[in-house]
Structure 1
């Protein structure tokens, strides 16, 4: 009989146990992650009643592959554009929670008498919630369309990025064994630099490659190419001194910006599920039940700290961000668990031999307890809100409502803000690109030239010349490009600010000279580098038009790749609880065939259908004669209380989703009516908003009063805050038109 390698038998035992527990936990309607952990516990070395894994080290290798695919999948769901669109509220909530839990975890570890390193890693373990558990819980409970869910998803996006940063910082701390501020700052800057380089290069190259090779790719080849790209970035990250998981996450986030993202995510799901199961089972294998009994007290304490700390910190962050009591409490009660990133951080401590062996099983036990309680916490969020509302003094509730409304007040973005933001972005992006090209030339191009028979001075000249050609368009953009031309021109037109503009222009040129000097100083003396930098910037100005045309082609290609997949799943939420969500109309829906006038949706449910997407068409806003057809996607504006009955009436279970990418970007935007606005004292019908923006006025705030779905004959007054569903670019144009008289008056007074 042929000998069967232990690797095959171990994998068979592992997957058999995982399959059985999966079926049991699916039947019990419990999170599958808990089933995997229990499966690992049963086939691990501490449980003798079942077949036992022989070579745990092999399983650890499989588990590391599982971590890579888990992080790759998270990256596909992450997307840097999503991070930009997260908004201030989710960012504030996430940062308040992370800082609070880091402090609570470290303090708890110190009070328990643990080492400094154990306490630091404990803080990192407790501060990251589980994206997997929350998404599954939201799907099972049907709360994804509700207002608080979009905030929670934003919090999770920020947490994922912070978790990646924590992996780098904790690795640095583990190696240095001390809190060296300089080393930590260097690690953060190094991470930021490589993230920027990889993202910029990836967006420029990978979508272009996928487009050109698209005709040759079926499902099989696309899957192979996606995994190859993932592992390639894993190798690059390892070469740069980062964890393999970071490389997988970055490649996932790059592919998330391509038109193939959904297809890749669909194809990679079975691979991720397989290796993810292996990872979570390996987590259970490493658990020592005796140690968990020994540390039952700390496990109970840390579970309570996790649940209470996250509820209080997220709720407090939500109130601080002006999200209102109900939304803040619901969000706080949804993120009360730790999960996959916590296991990865705990595994990092064990791998680097800087944490005690008891920390890992404690982290797993806390995760299991908090995961089990998650669905119940979400269900209890609304009763808790009602209880708090009943016991809070009226004065406190009034202040909270007033603060919530005030936190959403918007002002027109000033020209100075636009110009300074563009200057800063340009300097950072182009400096990163130029420095990366210079470093690659120094490390690879110069040795290549020397190996091919050119040495000494001429090798340096050749390397410098080739590098200058490569960086010329980016150097021109750094020194001379004005992305906000209109705002820049308006500022320059005011003679008071011309001296400031000149200082900024000279500063940009100075930075460009320093960058060129950095390049030349790699091969020549400092004085020669500075003189050469000034000469090169002058030549760039002389040949500006040719370089500009070349740069435009590069920029257009990059922006085309970046914007191929428009992600518009952010919800710009109105302060009184109304928000925008979307429904896919199934063939069995009760509203198919009816016109909006016949269905009387606004009168019956208190919601407004603001947009209809039908194939390649976007009907915005629809007229009362528009009919609803199968597979239409309708965008609905209303409160959770109104949307939920409408959802139950309109769609089959599971057909509801968050606002997704459409043929034309659709958002909920705000506009403030000033005393000099052209909209002031006009009715909605007279204002022409519907015609100018293809939009619909769905709400008005007036002196603390909230008017939902206002009548078309209502007259705008000074101080009104309008909520409009429509195209952001059109609404932005309307905003600029509405405030132009006030700006003209302001500049006239200043001149």
Structure 2
């Protein structure tokens, strides 16, 4: 039977592959078109999704929506993992005051406005509640993409925006817990909400503490063995492991991804992992936004055109104004407050997740999701323009406001950034509360693990409960010691004890810590023994604690030192440099990478005269594993050096342009390199050395071999004398070699 290219039977591809291929093709076309139009790529993905959906019949459409939803969920996970990698909890603490006030002001204002907007349009109570929460969360992905495309990520206000986004994401998780409680019970239950929040706080603390203790150590130990491939696999494995844990205890998988990213962000491998994960993030992020675009129903949009317009205006102006007010209240200058507020004027991925939550719980109406997508699409389009025109808007407002108002705002900003005095007694109380809360969480988690994991394994072993008690007590001992006997705020306590009236309160605090530790010992033993045996075991446990205090203390110190080292691993790289130490002025620190094409490479800081030319100082250079703090004038810059400069927004922007100007212009080389041989017969080169012959200069090549009297010489010395009938091998420009031979 003759073979035919076109047989009667065809190979069947799974719908998942064909749908994924369709999504990526439409996404690729959208990327090219929207990049050409200089519009946000996220908007292009939404349009691509709309074109590939069943609502638009002129193009092929996806067949299996469930598989696409799975891909989209993976996209959300990778996006939030990447967010955690770039902006850790430690960074949030550094801008915590500004970020928290800005985010919370915006969230409360938008929840209020969104709820009453829904009621104004005649929506049901539950739809209005979900709407308020949806409109309160800005889009991290859209803002970061816009910052990158506009080149403002290094400006000072960007740090405030990013801190506010992280606070918003955390609050969004809390509100999802609240909404789930309301949706299931159809009423607001304060007790259930409080329990849910305590549960969230407990698991967040445990995940973060255990992650910081183990993961940086793991990556450090494996550093010599890790290739890029292994590091990518390990980081994604850690991400998905935390996602599984989060889902199993009843939280959003996105929360688990974010937590793991923030943990890895404290390691020295954070930037490397972020670079490796970026292509994966871009791929699944595109799939996520395309899948969101598929949910846009034009009929619904036409029917609900008024709500879309109203909510779009409410989002743009409501978020801008509320965020600006929040940033002003936190003590930031007017210009930065307006820049921050106008940057946060959109909704995005978390809004989609919250809308999906309402739909999955069957508590929101079908029209809510497409309306949310439409509002997100419009605000995605307007975001770059809002960011771009934020500075001119701030300048106009500053020029129009009365001067006395401007002075009051500046005075308020300076006062809020001043150091506030805290009494010694307040310091001691705060230190004791942190100590008790931290170790209580760790001890309680170990007891739960012992009860639910270790005890079931030991049940079938003789004296299994005794072995469980011994193992659990050994693990608990250093933390019980730290909870009850570790010195806290030593200098402050000594200061207090100078006044006799504080003797009693300090002793009460110490006794309270000991009582809590004893309570935990009793709780652990009560899970394993009958009351009478538990009492005997309790006495033995307390006796052991008092018998070996030094050994237990030594063990705890090892654990604490390991945790602190890991926690500060990345920050120690930047020691002696404080990014916020210029807050009373407009100065801040921004990071740059010296490209391979830069003519800065190989020059000293003195030769470059960057401070004299631009006005910025290079405060830090990171070169692979080498960290150079406050480099000297003789320090050279090399390709791929990561440098941190200190300057104002204008100076940093000027330095960005300065780097672009100082890139070497590389002209396209169309020459063809070839390996060619020829025989010396009658040639000017006979009797001369290779160096004297000028072959290298005439052919723009190298003499890599000479065959002389039957003897072959590979890579000959330049002083080798060429003879008649020698065979010469040259590597060089094909055209120039031909021209040389024709002479």
TM-score, normalised with respect to structure 1: 0.80
Q: CA deviation at 1:506?
A: 1.1
Q: Is the 8 A contact 1:325 1:385 kept in 2?
A: yes
Cα 1:494/1:618, change in 2 over 3 Å? farther
Aligned counterpart in structure 2 of residue 11 of structure 1, from 20, 31, 39: 20
Structure 1 residues 462 and 572, CA, compared in 2 at 3 Å: closer, same or farther? same
State whether residues 617 and 647 of structure 2, in contact with CA within 8 Å, keep that contact through their aligned partners in structure 1. Answer: no
Distance 2:72 2:430 in 1: 43
Contact 1:583/1:651 (<8 A) preserved: no
Shift of 1:477: 0.4
Question: Could you tell me whether the CA contact under 8 Å between 1:75 and 1:252 is conserved in 2?
Answer: yes
Counterpart of 1:293 in structure 2 is 302
Cα deviation for residue 413 of structure 1 reads 5.7
- Is the aligned partner of 1:470 residue 2:479? no
Q: Cα deviation per residue 1:54-106 (whole Å; 9 max; x = unaligned)?
A: 12122222222222222222222232222222231122111111111111111
Q: Is contact 1:137–1:374 with CA below 8 Å preserved after alignment?
A: yes
Q: Displacement, 1:337?
A: 0.9
2:177 and 2:193 in contact (8 A); partners too = no
> Which residue of structure 1 lines up, in the alignment, with residue 727 of structure 2?
none
Q: Is the deviation greater in 522-531 or in 345-354?
A: 522-531
Equivalent position to 2:169, from 157, 160, 171: 160
1:264 and 1:576, CA in 2 relative to 1: closer, same or farther beyond 3 A? Answer: closer
> What does residue 240 of structure 1 align with?
249
Is the CA contact 2:40–2:384 (under 8 Å) kept in the aligned structure 1?
no
In 1: Cα distance, 2:649 partner to 2:549 partner: 55
Cα gap change, 1:570 to 1:290, in 2 (>3 Å):
farther
Q: Secondary structure at the match of 2:224?
A: helix
Contact 2:431 2:488 in 1 (8 A): yes
Q: How does 1:78-227 map to 2 (within 5 A)?
A: 78-227=87-236
Q: What CA distance in whole angstroms lies between the structure 2 residues aligned with 1:368 and 1:578?
A: 35
Deviation at 1:175, TM superposition (A): 2.3
Measure the CA separation in 2 of the matches of 1:628 and 1:222: 30
Cα separation, partners in 2 of 1:486 and 1:654, compared to 1, 3 Å: farther
- Rounded to whole Å, the distance in 2 between the matches of 1:617 and 1:275 is 34
Pairing partner for 1:64 from 57, 73, 81: 73
Q: 1:558 and 2:566 equivalent?
A: no
Q: CA deviation at 1:231?
A: 2.1
Correspondence 1:459-608 to 2 at 5 A: 459-524=464-529, 536-537=541-542, 539-566=544-571, 570-584=579-593, 588=598, 593=603, 599=609, 601=611, 607=615
Q: CA deviation at 1:480?
A: 0.7
CA distance in 1, matches of 2:426, 2:30: 56
Task: Report the Cα offset of residue 648 of structure 1.
Answer: 3.5
CA deviations over 1:181-204 (Å, ceiling 9, x no partner): 111111111111111112222222
| Alpha-carbon separation, structure 2, partners of 1:533 and 1:492 | 33
Which is greater in Rg? 2
Paired with 2:12 and 2:96, the residues of 1 have a C-alpha distance of: 58
Q: 1:199 to 1:654 in 2, by over 3 A?
A: farther
CA distance in 2, matches of 1:634, 1:248: 29
- State the 1:42 CA deviation: 1.1
Structure 1: runs of 5 or more not aligned: 656-751
Distance 2:610 2:224 in 1: 47
Report the more deviating stretch, 496-505 or 643-652. Answer: 643-652
| Range with greater deviation from structure 2 (32-41 or 356-365) | 32-41
Give the distance between the partners of 1:523 and 1:582, measured in 2 at CA: 55
State which drifts further: 586-595 or 421-430: 586-595
Match of 1:705 in 2: none
Q: 2:263 corresponds to which residue?
A: 254
1:343 to 352, 355, 363: 352
The equivalent residue for 2:678 is none
Question: 1:484/1:534 Cα in 2 relative to 1: closer, same or farther (>3 Å)?
Answer: farther
* 1:609 matched to 2:609: no
Q: In terms of mean alpha carbon deviation, does 211-220 or 411-420 score higher?
A: 411-420
Partners of 1:537 and 1:416 lie apart in 2 by 31
Shift of 1:643: 4.2
Matched length: 647
- Deviation per CA, 1:673-731: give whole Å up to 9, x if none: xxxxxxxxxxxxxxxxxxxxxxxxxxxxxxxxxxxxxxxxxxxxxxxxxxxxxxxxxxx
Match of 1:436 among 431, 437, 445: 445
Give the distance between the partners of 2:502 and 2:540, measured in 1 at CA: 29
* Deviations 1:404-453 (CA, angstroms, capped at 9, x unpaired): 1111211466544443333222211111111111111111222222223x
Partner of 1:410: 419
Unaligned runs of 5+ in 2: 1-9, 665-743
Distance 2:329 2:312 in 1: 25
Residue in 2 aligned with 1:738? none
Question: Structure 2 length normalisation: TM-score?
Answer: 0.81
Is the CA contact 1:44–1:286 (under 8 Å) kept in the aligned structure 2?
Answer: yes
Q: Please provide the CA RMSD for this pair.
A: 2.9
Q: 1:475 offset after TM fit, Å?
A: 0.5
Tell me how far apart the structure 2 counterparts of residues 60 and 549 of structure 1 sit (CA, whole Å): 52
Q: Give the 5 Å matches for 1:643-654.
A: 643-649=652-658, 652=661
Deviation for aligned residue 1:268: 1.8
The structure-2 alpha-carbon separation of the partners of 1:56 and 1:620, relative to structure 1 and needing over 3 Å to count, comes to closer
C-alpha separation in 2, matches of 1:614 and 1:56: 46
Per-residue deviation, residues 638-671 of structure 1 (Å, max 9, x unmatched): 433444445534665999xxxxxxxxxxxxxxxx
